[in-house]
Chains A and B, each alone.
Chain A
């Protein structure tokens, strides 16, 4: 009898005590938790420091994509005014975000680190066509992404990337595995495994 009453009192005291605690709820739109450095959100296309696009239009990302969300339309570079470093460049580069499953295979397939998944995850919108991303939107989301889908506090480019490849050997400027030293990015998959 008294043990029961004691248990009852303990229960009531527990609930009452919890009233004074600060709530654990994250008030989401105002308060955002920092995402993981590995988070796979919206893609970005990257450039070299001298302004050349990294993408060489090789279609490897499109081939690796399990949901066939990527379309690459490649063209020969004009030698006088090249768009990218290699022979070819991507004239069209589209990702259908409605099909994308954010697996990151495109990123792993890319030989020149042209495409990477970023931290942006607030991608909801009202129209299907606004979720098919063009090359401009992927290269420069700050300017070209739909207003509802770009959030300066979330979407930050991930760097640093390797520099321009050596003209003769074709080897990228930065040492391999440079992402280990970069606190904001993910180590190569081989090292993780």
Chain B
């Protein structure tokens, strides 16, 4: 009973933090993007635009929920739920602090301390793709369908790269449990120094996984209206939108955990360090979006299968040899 309550509390805290961060990430993105384009960005609603996410949320909440005539009703309604679920579920295995003691009970600061944490992450991120594919298919519109087809092809390609980058980290850390990977970096040597190639691969794959610019082909607004979520409106659209931003936060948190020592850091408590590292990655995502134009479809595929996959395999092989050689 006691354990269940503690688990519930941890889940609630993580979900609350993510859902609070998400709207402010949209504001952060818009303001940073504006600054890079020498504009103001939203700064009217509240002090420095701080109430803008609230206004956007309210607007979406009161919008009509449209169902296209050609839509597959059940799948159409299911897809946004899958997107949001998968995005939030990914955050479950990310450790945000050391094990603490509350009222005599030791509480690890992670929602679910799985032995196969990384595998779980890969699985959940694949699940999120179903939302894009099903949503695009069920809309019964050509733009949505093209968007979801692109999503399927893109994610299949980049999941491979993601896997290769993660396996290299697993080889170095000797565990797939994220808590162990963080502890392996506690000597002060972050994995990014041991695995710089894997880090770059992860960053590119993460961008593609979250469908962020310059890999935002599934929603490519200049070609496909809005890609897989063209037909969605109101809160169903908002769920896709929230899922995208939560995904960004989760992907940033994973990058921080695997390559930058997670919650480890001097002076401050763990969660603050993780938050700081997440923010650095969020800035990086926005910076990417402000700088690079969208890749063409064939460029995207060539980058994945032609460059990143061989580099990833080579990196993995070299890492494996070194790990085996040094462990004897």
Contacts and interface: CB of A to CB of B under 8 A. Distances in A.
B116 interface: no
A32 interface: no
Interface in A11-25: 11-12, 14-16, 18-19, 21-25
A15 B290 CA distance: 7
B39 A24 contact: yes
B46 to A, nearest CB: 16
Interface residues of A, number: 13
B39 A15 contact: no
B291 A15 contact: yes
Contacts of B287: 12, 15-16
A27 interface: yes
Contact of B291 (A12, A21, A22, A25): A12
B313 interface: no
A87 to B, nearest CB: 56
Interface in A165-191: none
A15 B36 contact: yes
Contact of B38 (A11, A12, A16, A24): A24
A15 to B, nearest CB: 5
The listed residue with most A CB atoms (<10 A of its CB), out of B32, B34, B36, is: B36
A23 B32 contact: no
B38 A21 contact: yes
A19 B37 CA distance: 7
Interface in A98-130: none
A28 to B, nearest CB: 11
A18 B40 CA distance: 12
B290 A23 contact: no
B39 A23 contact: yes
Contacts of B40: 23, 25, 27
Contacts of B102: none
A4 to B, nearest CB: 11
Contact of A25 (B39, B290, B292): B39
Interface string B14-52: 000000000000000000101111111000000000000
Nearest to A10: B291
Contacts of A19: 32, 35-36
Nearest to B34: A23
Contacts of A24: 38-39
Contacts of A18: 35-38
Nearest to A19: B35
Contacts of B291: 11-12, 14-15
B39 A11 contact: no
Contacts of A16: 36, 287
The listed residue with most A CB atoms (<10 A of its CB), out of B34, B287, B291, B292, is: B291
The listed residue with most B CB atoms (<10 A of its CB), out of A16, A19, A21, A27, is: A19
A129 B38 CA distance: 42
Contacts of A23: 34-35, 38-40
A16 B36 CA distance: 7
A24 B38 CA distance: 6
A18 B292 CA distance: 15
Nearest to A25: B40
Contacts of B290: 15
B170 to A, nearest CB: 28
The listed residue with most A CB atoms (<10 A of its CB), out of B34, B38, B292, is: B38
A134 to B, nearest CB: 36
A174 B283 CA distance: 65
B281 to A, nearest CB: 15
Nearest to B292: A11
A192 to B, nearest CB: 36
24 contacts: A12-B287, A12-B291, A14-B291, A15-B36, A15-B287, A15-B290, A15-B291, A16-B36, A16-B287, A18-B35, A18-B37, A19-B32, A19-B35, A19-B36, A22-B38, A23-B34, A23-B35, A23-B38, A23-B40, A24-B38, A24-B39, A25-B39, A25-B40, A27-B40
Interface of B: 32, 34-40, 287, 290-292
Interface of A: 11-12, 14-16, 18-19, 21-25, 27
Given A12-B287, A15-B291, 14 more contacts: A11-B291, A14-B291, A15-B36, A18-B35, A18-B38, A19-B32, A21-B38, A22-B38, A23-B35, A23-B39, A24-B38, A24-B39, A25-B39, A25-B40
